[in-house]
């Protein structure tokens, strides 16, 4: 048996998330079908994490096993990109240790959220089109509290069966895109994320930026561990999984 990490990116608009479902298109199903066709075996892939319906990934990692080592990984990447749908692209296939795990060995994950503050037809599927003026400095001040608090029950989707809602956020920052001042970018990095957590955080921080909440009120909402106090989640199309980090030791 040989195990491989496959690095890919995808536009989530046409999919009901990453995870396989019986009666809905998912990224996992599309990738498994393509791998099984080319490797002439029933291939299952295990992803670095679940992305919800409509959420994108500019960088995603999954692992799969084959009975014999892949003869030419670059050729496999080329063929995968030929037969996969246009909205899924494979970057690389890399041999890893037999016990390496795309999900459990990930040290950190990073998500990026985009808000377009001006109508932009080229961003309609990749950003939240939100035209209300926002106080970015105030939003960043509120986001600082995410770095010193680790219980994110307030932003956890109900009935998700999490063993714990503890997450350690190491970065949470808003900035304006260097090439487009009307595009706001929120970057958040942590050891793990809860389902719907980032979209709930973004929605609540936007309410800080437009003046609905003060920085102190955001902190009270965070500390309350009460989902009903959080704002509505931001739309899915603005969210991208943008990085997954592993220790070098997982690779062959």
Residues identified as active-site? 52
Q: Give the CA angle between residues 13, 108, 225 to the nearest 5°.
A: 80
Cα radius of gyration rounded to whole Å, the chain? 19
Q: Residue 69: how many CB atoms within 10 A of its CB?
A: 12
User: Helices in 43-196 by DSSP H: which ranges?
Assistant: 73-83, 136-143
Comparing C-alpha atoms, which of 54, 31, 51 is closest to residue 43?
A: 31
221, containing H or E segment: helix 215-224
Distances in whole angstroms, Cα of residue 232 to Cα of each of 170, 191, 196, 207: 24, 24, 10, 10
Give me the half-sphere count of Cα atoms (radius 13 Å) on the Cβ side of residue 197: 29
**Exposed / middle / buried, residue 206 (Cβ in 10 Å: 0-12, 13-18, 19+):** buried
Tell me the two tokens of residue 115: 């808000």
């Amino acid at each position: 048996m040989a195990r491989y990490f496959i690095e890919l990116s995808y536009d989530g608009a046409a999919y009901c998330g990453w995870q396989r479902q019986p009666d809905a298109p998912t990224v996992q199903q599309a990738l498994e079908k393509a791998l099984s066709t080319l490797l002439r075996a029933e291939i299952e892939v295990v992803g670095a994490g679940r992305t919800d319906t409509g959420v994108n990934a500019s960088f995603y990692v999954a692992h799969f096993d084959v009975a014999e080592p892949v003869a030419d990984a670059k050729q496999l990447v080329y063929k995968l990109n030929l037969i996969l749908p246009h909205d899924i692209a494979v970057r690389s296939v890399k041999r890893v240790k037999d016990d390496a795990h795309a999900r459990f060995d990930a040290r950190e994950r990073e998500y990026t959220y985009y808000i377009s503050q001006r109508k932009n037809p080229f961003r309609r599927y990749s950003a939240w089109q939100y035209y209300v003026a926002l106080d970015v400095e105030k939003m960043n001040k509120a986001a600082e509290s995410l770095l010193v608090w680790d219980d994110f029950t307030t932003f956890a989707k109900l009935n998700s069966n999490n063993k714990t809602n503890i997450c350690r956020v190491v970065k949470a920052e808003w900035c304006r895109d260097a090439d487009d001042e009307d595009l706001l970018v929120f970057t958040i990095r942590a050891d793990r994320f809860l389902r719907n957590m980032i979209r709930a955080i973004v929605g609540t921080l936007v309410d800080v930026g437009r003046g609905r909440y003060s920085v102190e009120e955001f902190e009270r909402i965070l500390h309350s561990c009460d989902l009903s106090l959080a704002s509505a989640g931001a739309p899915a199309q603005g969210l991208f999984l943008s990085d997954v980090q592993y220790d070098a030791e997982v690779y062959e």
